[in-house]
Every structure is written in C-alpha cells, then in structure tokens.
Amino acid sequence: MRAPLPRLPTPHPSRIPGLIAHLGIFSRLSEPQVAELATDARLSHLGRGTPVLHRGEPLPGLIGIGYGLLKLAARGVNSEERVLRLLGAGESFGAASILLGRPCPVDVVTLSDTLLVTVPTTRVLKLVDLDPKFAHRMMLALAERNMGLLSELATRALQRGIQRVACYLDSLARPLDGSERCMATLPVAKAVIASRLGMKKETLSRLLHELAQNGLIVVRGPEVEILDRARLAEIAYRDPCSPDRQAAGPLVQGASTRRPPSDPKLQTLS
C-alpha cells in the first residue's frame, strides 16, 4: 500500500459508450443499449497500486477495464494475500456478485495506471431482464468462468510449482522470427505472478533459475526467452511420477511423453 492514493484526472466522459462497447461482456449490444448503460456509468482513472475495492464492500456495479491492469486477490486474516486473477483491458469483473446482490468477494487493486468504467448494478439487471440475448450471453460468460475456475482448481491440485511455471510461460509464449525460439514477457511484477501461480516470489525465482539451468529458458528481467518450447511443454504436462527419460539434472524427475486429455493451461492474465 502507498500513502497518498493519487486520483488522476479522468478522461472525457463522452468516451464512455466507446469504452463500454469494447468490453467483452457488452459486445454486440445495440447502440441505444450501450447509450443507456452509459447514462449512469462512471469513469475512474486510478494510479498504480490504488485499492479499488476491499472484500466485503458493496459493488457499485459491473466494473470494466478501459486500459491498465487489475489484480483480484484473497486476503488472509493478517496480511498474506493470494492473487486469484489478473485482468487487462476489455475484461470486467463483478457480474456474479451483482447478479446475486453479494458484496465484493475479493480485494481489487490496480497494478498500473488504469481506467475503469463502472456500470451501475441496476442498469445491468435491467438489461438482463429486457434483452434475452444479453441474458444468454451473460449466462454463457458465467458458464465459461465456471469452467475456468474449475480448471484452476484442478491445476492447483495436480500440478507442482515447476509445472505451473512452465505452463504459464508456455501460455505467454509469442513466436520469435527465429523458428524454434519464443519470447514471453511477464506482464506484472514477479511477486504478483508468483502469487498468481500459488507460490512465493523466492520460489518462483528458484524455479525460473532451474528452468534456465536446464537450458529451457533465458531470463532477462521481465523478458523470458524460451529456447525449447517443446521441452517446456513436456515439463508442464508431464506426469511427475513417471520414470526418467534421461537423467537431465535436478529438474523434477519424470518425463512422460503424452499431453493430458484436457487443456489445463494457465491463461494469460486470467
């Protein structure tokens, strides 16, 4: 936390409809529908590290991101926190809570300069009631999050730290001009990513080091060069109990050859 909490100048409100229309959850709405959502909507331009909501507070509405980054985190009784989700531009949160009239279940904090749009609860509920197509899309969005949360739980339960790291890097990989190599840029501080992956920053540091020592990646600050994506994916999806293929160092031990039936990849910023 930081002391002064700078509330930055807010952009021109006339941009609200455009921002709303670019949120995934409000895409495909008609222009008048967007306009109606926009009548009440508020913009907030927040500096990095600003708390947006605390757990237990009432949600003013559905909150979308124009630009910037948010983290949603659960907090223990003292101060330990676990990042549950990272959100970027075009994404939103709070749908489930406002539909049920529940308070915010997580702490929400900006991770960079961020522009938020808040569409008041009543407008969203009205839209759900009046537009069956919107209600349907909302239902599908909730179902999608459901599947995502489920796979998150499964990932946590079944994968070791190093597998989650490998998985995450694989999900960030962008092809580089050179055929084999890829790049991955860590979108936020390593401590945040560590928390998102269910570990401490020290552990993440060690695991990245271990991957580097084995020639899979090269770490330069937030830029990670992926030298051997195939082998990285193999680690990510390997059965940690299967026998060694080649004694290749201290890198876990197993090396099964098949991918798992489903796709437990961590999503970028999800």
- Interface residues with a second copy (CB under 8 A) are 55-56, 74-78, 80, 82, 84, 95-97, 99-100, 102, 105-106, 128-129, 132, 135-136, 138-140, 142-147, 149-154, 156-158, 198, 237-239, 241-242, 256, 258, 260-262
Q: Which does 106 bind (CB under 5 to 8 A by kind): DNA, a second copy, none?
A: a second copy
Interface with DNA includes 224 (CB under 7 A)?
A: no
Give the residue with the Cβ less far from DNA, 37 or 199: 199
Give the residue with the Cβ less far from DNA, 32 or 221: 221
Q: Which of residues 178-217 bind DNA (CB under 7 A)?
A: 189-191, 198-209
- Angle formed by the axes of helices 201-213 and 161-172, nearest 10°: 70
Interface with DNA includes 219 (CB under 7 A)?
A: yes
Give CA–CA dist 270/252, Å, rounded.
26
Interface with DNA includes 2 (CB under 7 A)?
A: yes
Contact assessment for residue 68 and residue 89, using Cβ atoms and an 8 Å cutoff? yes
Long-range CB contacts (within 8 A, 24+) of 160-164 = 160/240, 160/252, 161/197, 161/198, 161/199, 161/203, 161/207, 162/207, 162/210, 162/211, 162/235, 162/251, 162/252, 163/235, 163/236, 163/237, 163/238, 163/240, 163/252, 164/197, 164/198, 164/199, 164/266
Closest approach, Cβ 159 to a second copy, in A, equals: 8
Contact assessment for residue 192 and residue 71, using Cβ atoms and an 8 Å cutoff? yes
SS3 state of residue 3: coil
Q: Which does 51 bind (CB under 5 to 8 A by kind): a second copy, DNA, none?
A: none
Decide: residue 150, CB within 10 A, 0-12 exposed, 13-18 middle, 19+ buried.
Answer: exposed
Closest approach, Cβ 159 to DNA, in A, equals: 8
Interface with DNA includes 145 (CB under 7 A)?
A: no
Closest approach, Cβ 31 to DNA, in A, equals: 39
Give the residue with the Cβ less far from DNA, 72 or 224: 224
Give the residue with the Cβ less far from DNA, 79 or 246: 79
Binding region for DNA (CB under 7 A): 2, 80, 160-162, 189-191, 198-209, 219, 221-222, 240-241, 252
